Structure 1
Amino acid sequence: MEFALSEEQTLLRDSVRRFVAEAHDFGRGRALAQTEEGFSRAHWVSFAELGWLALLVPETMHGLGGKSEDAAILMEELGRGLLAAPYLSTAVLGADLIVESQLAERLELLEQLMAGTLLVAVATEESHSRYDLAAVNTTARRDSAGAFLLSGRKIMVLDGAAADGFIVSARFGDETGSGDIALFWVPADTAGLEIRRYRTIDDRRACDLGLDQVRLPAAALLAGPECGLAHLGKAMDRARVLMAAEAIGAMDSAIEMTAEYLRTRHQFGRALASFQVLAHRLSDMFVKLENARSMLFRGLAMLDAPADVRAAAVSATMITIIQAGEFVTGQAIQLHGGIGMADESPVGHYYKRLRAIGKTFGDLSWHMNRYLRITSHSSAQGAA
């Protein structure tokens, strides 16, 4: 894996950084957080015009055919500016699953997605599932006419409040739902689909879904039970690593902001930065960030590895990211003092965003358990 940015990647980073600086300062972000959708549709149109929504779509499907590393650069800059947009759910998870799907309207959906007219959310989590993609009680069965009937409930659907359509996981089979996991395309205006929208701790938007015998045409099957769980697992791991890149950007910005505050804030006639104990804290924050950045590189490098190798590497990345995010943003608030707790201070919002990331698609204990389960199994096989 090449760690130095190519010329094209440098241009991408600079363009995203310039867009965030010019179109999304902190005040603008706080104003958008109070709106119904929580993000700017005008910004989303700009994302489409700049080609960012087509970044991970293959060239054969009229996309840019970019790599995960390219999307990580973009996500890091969005994290640096705390820019709330449904990029991860639509242009990463949604795009990945639609690209791999068997939908007859696949190309049409991708064209709409890349044009910025289709927002996608992925509904996998249920009240009992604890991030386990296979723990699905939502059922899907065929009726006598060959259509699908979906019943169940989904919770914490990331960016689902404004979504135009949902990719829903369901256990495919008879009335008992005894089969394997399949994925379905469910437009938001489907009859019988109940959507409960709400705000999350980081001022983003999510929703819960209720499905009561929701009837879908046979063409709504996005991935059958023979491949649904595998496709979902691979797409989710890429989303986790790109979310880690967003966290890196947020931590980096929090450190820069804290360093500037210590240089300009005076106490006892001296700049706070001149107090050695505070300088050491700032150094510890930087070390945590760089360690997390190294793990991000490792996670990116392993995305195309076999499933277990990929999963272990991604969880190792997320463990480091979650722990570093808690330390870095927590210290940023402490070093700012009381102002760090105010809603008007950005550092508190970086903390909230890192807390939300640490609970999205797997928390610290879940990632630790997955990592230990995979590595212990591999060690046992090696010993045998």
Structure 2
Amino acid sequence: MLSENYDFSARHGSPADQGDDAAWADDMWRQFAELGWLALPFAEEDGGLGAGMVEISILTEAFGRNMVVEPYITTVVLCGGLVAAIGTPEQRAETLPAIGEGALRIAFMGGAAGDISVDAAPSGDGYVLSGARKSVIDAPMAGRLLVPARIGEGIGVFMIDCDATGVTLRPHRTLDGGRAADVELTGVNVGRAQMLGGLEDASDAIEAAIDRTIAALSADAVGAMAKLVEETVEYTKTREQFGKPISKFQVLAHRLVDMKVSEEEARAVTTLAVLSADAPASKRRRAVSSAKSKVGRCARFVGQNAIQTHGAIGTTADLTIGSYAKRLMVYEASYGSTARHAELYAAIIADPDTAGAGLLLSPAA
């Protein structure tokens, strides 16, 4: 469906051509709902299909291959996953079916685990939220925000409307053609009913949701890498130099092999992260940080060499190569950089309490 209906030239034009109107995504979003994709990971009692991260990763890899820019991972995997994990029955009933039907999109006003920029001050029967965050992904297309906020020593998660009093959004385009906004909260009043699960410390749930998000994004990156490798191989078969295709030159043949090896290495660590998404925290963190670090390095290698192999034409906006490479660059910077996750992984395997956690090799393990 994506390859037949996703028109690259129309959906990845210049910002001046497309403007900031998100209406262009509505038709595709409705198709996502009709196909059941938006309800895929939610429990049946919440109006979902009860699928797991394996099914999600299959879908997001296809998104990466086709450069889907709809807010699927943000709304369904991250925000929907948080609501499903810690929301009250009333919160789940009000939110998850609406997501599944395509009627609600949610953006996450947070970054990597522990990266909190909003404070929640107790006020009467509720709280007052104040803070700001740059580049909240998918916020211009969202109707609501999930806001992790510090409450004393804990972290709560609040759901607020994007048009609530005190909420300011400044939309902009991201490097890969997506949409984001700088968001500022100035004295936003919220009731306790807007706090997910009524929990004043949802740190563990936030970390688990972000880890699942990283696993889904890694699958997306693998899809983008696979497409880059395919297009680069095809280009070398048709581009001629000195009377023969450049694929016949040994140095380029070796480069293509190295790109394919990087793709497969990224796929392997991503598979482990996906299978570990619901594992105990020590195994999950180890697998996810390993994937984020390795996939980030592979993504940069594949993206740079795809452009280099294409030559000057690879830098033009009219060719898809540059857009895929920019998508991979955004992946590198999302929810902790490649270097940061390498540090986290090193700390995990150096800690005697977590180094022996082992690897999860199957969903049943």
Please report the TM-score for the alignment, with normalisation by the length of structure 1. Answer: 0.88
The answer for the alignment partner of 2:93 in structure 1 is 107
Contact 1:25 1:81 (8 Å CA) reproduced: no
In 2: Cα distance, 1:224 partner to 1:141 partner: 15
Query: 1:211 Cα shift?
Result: 1.2
Query: 1:102 Cα shift?
Result: 3.2
Contact 1:123 1:155 (8 Å CA) reproduced: no
Contact 1:29 1:83 (8 Å CA) reproduced: no
In 2: Cα distance, 1:282 partner to 1:292 partner: 15
The answer for the alignment partner of 2:285 in structure 1 is 311
The answer for the alignment partner of 2:126 in structure 1 is 147
The answer for the alignment partner of 1:61 in structure 2 is 46
1:344-355 aligned at under 5 Å gives the runs 344-355=318-329
1:181-200 aligned at under 5 Å gives the runs 181-200=155-174
1:28-47 aligned at under 5 Å gives the runs 28-31=10-13, 34-37=18-21, 40-47=25-32
Query: 1:124 Cα shift?
Result: 1.1
Query: 1:278 Cα shift?
Result: 0.8
The answer for the alignment partner of 1:299 in structure 2 is 273
The answer for the alignment partner of 1:83 in structure 2 is 68
Contact 1:240 1:361 (8 Å CA) reproduced: yes
Contact 2:296 2:332 (8 Å CA) reproduced: yes
SS of 1:358's partner is helix
Contact 1:179 1:225 (8 Å CA) reproduced: no
What letter is aligned with 2:107? A
Contact 2:20 2:171 (8 Å CA) reproduced: no
What letter is aligned with 1:148? Y
Query: 1:137 Cα shift?
Result: 4.6
In 2: Cα distance, 1:355 partner to 1:291 partner: 18
Deviation per CA, 1:149-171, whole angstroms, max 9, x where unpaired?
A: 11111222111111100000111
Q: 1:156 aligns with which of 135, 145, 153?
A: 135
In 1: Cα distance, 2:120 partner to 2:33 partner: 34
What letter is aligned with 1:30? H
In 1: Cα distance, 2:186 partner to 2:53 partner: 37
The answer for the alignment partner of 1:358 in structure 2 is 332
Contact 1:37 1:205 (8 Å CA) reproduced: no
1:90-239 aligned at under 5 Å gives the runs 90-103=75-88, 104-125=90-111, 131=112, 133-144=113-124, 146-172=125-151, 178-225=152-199, 227-239=201-213
What letter is aligned with 2:42? V
What letter is aligned with 1:150? L
Query: 1:224 Cα shift?
Result: 4.3
In 1: Cα distance, 2:156 partner to 2:103 partner: 26
Query: 1:251 Cα shift?
Result: 0.5
Residue 248 of structure 2 is aligned to residue 263 of structure 1:
no
In 2: Cα distance, 1:198 partner to 1:355 partner: 17
SS of 1:183's partner is strand
Contact 1:198 1:207 (8 Å CA) reproduced: yes
SS of 1:281's partner is helix
- Percent identical across equivalent pairs? 34
In 2: Cα distance, 1:223 partner to 1:37 partner: 34
Contact 1:32 1:40 (8 Å CA) reproduced: no
Contact 2:99 2:105 (8 Å CA) reproduced: yes
The answer for the alignment partner of 1:12 in structure 2 is none
SS of 2:351's partner is helix
SS of 2:333's partner is coil
Residue 276 of structure 2 is aligned to residue 276 of structure 1:
no
> For this pair of structures, how many residues does the alignment match?
352
Q: What is the root-mean-square deviation in Å for CA atoms of aligned residues?
A: 1.7
The answer for the alignment partner of 1:374 in structure 2 is 348
- CA 1:380 to 1:337, structure 2 compared with 1: closer, same or farther past 3 Å? closer
Deviation per CA, 1:107-164, whole angstroms, max 9, x where unpaired?
A: 1211111111101011113xxxxx3x324352112222x0221111122211111110
- CA 1:369 to 1:253, structure 2 compared with 1: closer, same or farther past 3 Å? same
Please report the TM-score for the alignment, with normalisation by the length of structure 2. Answer: 0.92
SS of 1:303's partner is coil
Query: 1:209 Cα shift?
Result: 1.6
